[in-house]
Amino acid sequence: MTADLQTCPFSTGSLGARFRPYEQEGMFAFFKEARAQQPVFYNQELDCWVVTKKADIQAIFRDPDRFSASNSQSPVNAYSADVHEILVDGEFTREPTQANTDRPKHTRIRNIAGQFLNQKRFARYEDQIRELTRQQIATLPPTGTVDLVEALTYELPAKVLFLLVGVPQEESYRVKRWSDNTFNMIWGKPTEDDTIAGARGLVEYYDFCKSVVNDRLESGVEGDDYVSHLLRARNGDDAILTMNEIYSLVHGVLAAGHETTSNGSANLLWALLSDREQWDKLVADRSLIANAVEEGLRYMTPFITWRRMTLTDVEIGGVAIPAGATILMSLVSANHDEDSFEGPLAFDVERKNARQHLAFGNGIHFCMGAPLARMEMKILLEELTQRYPNMRLVEKDNIEWPLNMGFRGPVKLLVELGE
């Protein structure tokens, strides 16, 4: 399958001036041109250096001594004084804990989190994840047209995550809404009114996370879940973990722990159903599903950009960049790099090196939830190809993509379930 996002709406002029960071339609073609003509360029709108080649981005991820992660989750657009007042008055004290921290704090916290968030632990939940998936699919009608985002991929990954974190399943939809708001506040371009409303949502969300932790602490009931693990690890010692760090870790995992899977699943289904040959290959041979998941993560990268800040003067791709500069790494461009992937704008479930993508980052900040996301997407495809082998996409060319520079996934995915 060849990418349908070839028509580039970006205006004429230099690459830096033409770059539209919030617009996702046409970005495949734009970054193909950038990789060939100017792999590293400056964008004035964001005051950042955009890096497009996989080798350069991988090198940045692997060099935390020169590239700080401290800005990776900072709001792209600075908050106003009114927004800051809402956050301060609401005691929104979320602090950097993992993805946006540097060593040694990052090492301390990641080591504790990694004792729970790891492949061995995730494997224990496989049967429960499959049962949750089957239950969600069972809510679909046997035939007819449905929106797979609304009916399946939006909420299911949150329900899976709640198994691990120890949050009631009935809270999944509310947390999803809070998560959407959080990412729009960081990666989107909301109006001032939207930002003020969003700030109140951030306060509500953080209060919820604190209540989850405090209720567990006050009840004295320990479970086999992430919150209980963090409290056991802390054991009342702030030198190990502070309570605010635990609140922040729960806030972070409840937000990021399902968004990649939600969007990655919808993206993968869109890519597969846009090319019947690819979907039919999986229906005929389910052993291809694991690799299809990797190809989906490469081809339709669910998180399209990530940021770093230079700690010293550096040179990337022959371009001199000063200390204190913002680096915007285009993960979707890296995953379409011709130097790493043959025919990168084609979707191929049999691609030999599909797993070499950077969808989960690289280096010391590699996504701890990657094995879980892979498992969830694999199970979903296994169940869907068996239950609805004749499923077809209704609107191949009229997909709406969100207006943001972070997560990427179709707003709706209408399909005909078949018979």
pLDDT digits (tens, 9 = 90+) for 4-32: 443 343 444 588 888 988 888 888 999 99
Report residue 331 as tokens: 């993960």
Tell me the angle at which helices 243-273 and 370-387 cross, rounded to the nearest 10 degrees.
40
- Are 369 and 254 in contact, with CB atoms under 8 Å apart? no
pLDDT at 383: 97
**1 belongs to a structural domain:** no
Whole-model pTM above 0.85? yes
Neighbours of 345 (CB within 10 A): 17
**286 belongs to a structural domain:** yes
**88 belongs to a structural domain:** yes
pLDDT at 10: 40
* 417 vs 158: CA distance, rounded Å: 24
Per-residue pLDDT tens digits for 157-193: 988 988 888 888 778 778 888 888 888 888 888 889 9
Secondary structure string (H, E, C) spanning the chain:
CECCCCCCCCCCCCHHHHCCCCCCCCHHHHHHHHHHHCCEEEECCCCEEEECCHHHHHHHHCCCCCEECCCCCCCCCCCCHHHHHHHHHCCCCCCCCCCCCCCCHHHHHHHHHHCCCCHHHHHCCHHHHHHHHHHHHHCCCCCCEEEHHHHHHCCHHHHHHHHHHCCCHHHHHHHHHHHHHHHHHHHECCCHHHHHHHHHHHHHHHHHHHHHHHHHHHHCCCCCCHHHHHHHHHCCCCCCCCHHHHHHHHHHHHHHHHHHHHHHHHHHHHHHHCCHHHHHHHHHCHHHHHHHHHHHHHHCCCECEEEEEECCCEEECCEEECCCCEEEEEHHHHCCCCCCCCCCCECCCCCCCHHHCCCCCCHHHCCCCHHHHHHHHHHHHHHHHHHCCCCEECCCCCCCCCCECCECCCCCCEEECCC
Q: Which residue has the tokens 């993805």?
A: 99
pLDDT at 78: 87
Q: Which residue has the tokens 């792999």?
A: 39
What would the mean pLDDT of 73-100 be, rounded to a whole number? 92
What would the mean pLDDT of 386-411 be, rounded to a whole number? 85
**6 belongs to a structural domain:** no
pLDDT at 396: 63
**3 belongs to a structural domain:** no
pLDDT at 361: 94
pLDDT band at 221 (very low <50, low <70, confident <90, very high): low
Question: Could you list the residue range(s) of the whole structural domain that residue 154 is in?
Answer: 15-416
Residues 24-47, buried b or exposed e (16+ Cβ, 10 A)?
A: bbebbbbbbebbeebbbbbbeebe
Our measurement of the distance from residue 79's CA atom to the centroid of its chain's CA atoms, rounded to an integer in Å, reads 23
Question: pLDDT > 90: what percent of the chain?
Answer: 71
Our measurement of the distance from residue 343's CA atom to the centroid of its chain's CA atoms, rounded to an integer in Å, reads 24
Antiparallel, parallel or unpaired: β 414-416 and 145-147: antiparallel
User: In CATH, what number is assigned to the domain containing residue 355?
Assistant: 1.10.630.10
**306 belongs to a structural domain:** yes
More confident site: 86 or 223: 86
Per-residue pLDDT tens digits for 267-317: 999 999 998 899 999 999 999 999 999 999 999 999 999 999 999 999 999
**10 belongs to a structural domain:** no
- Are 337 and 228 in contact, with CB atoms under 8 Å apart? no
403: left (phi over 0), alpha (psi -120 to 50) or beta: beta
**8 belongs to a structural domain:** no
Burial (CB < 10 A; 0-12, 13-18, 19+), residue 397, is: exposed
When divided into structural domains, the chain yields a total of 1
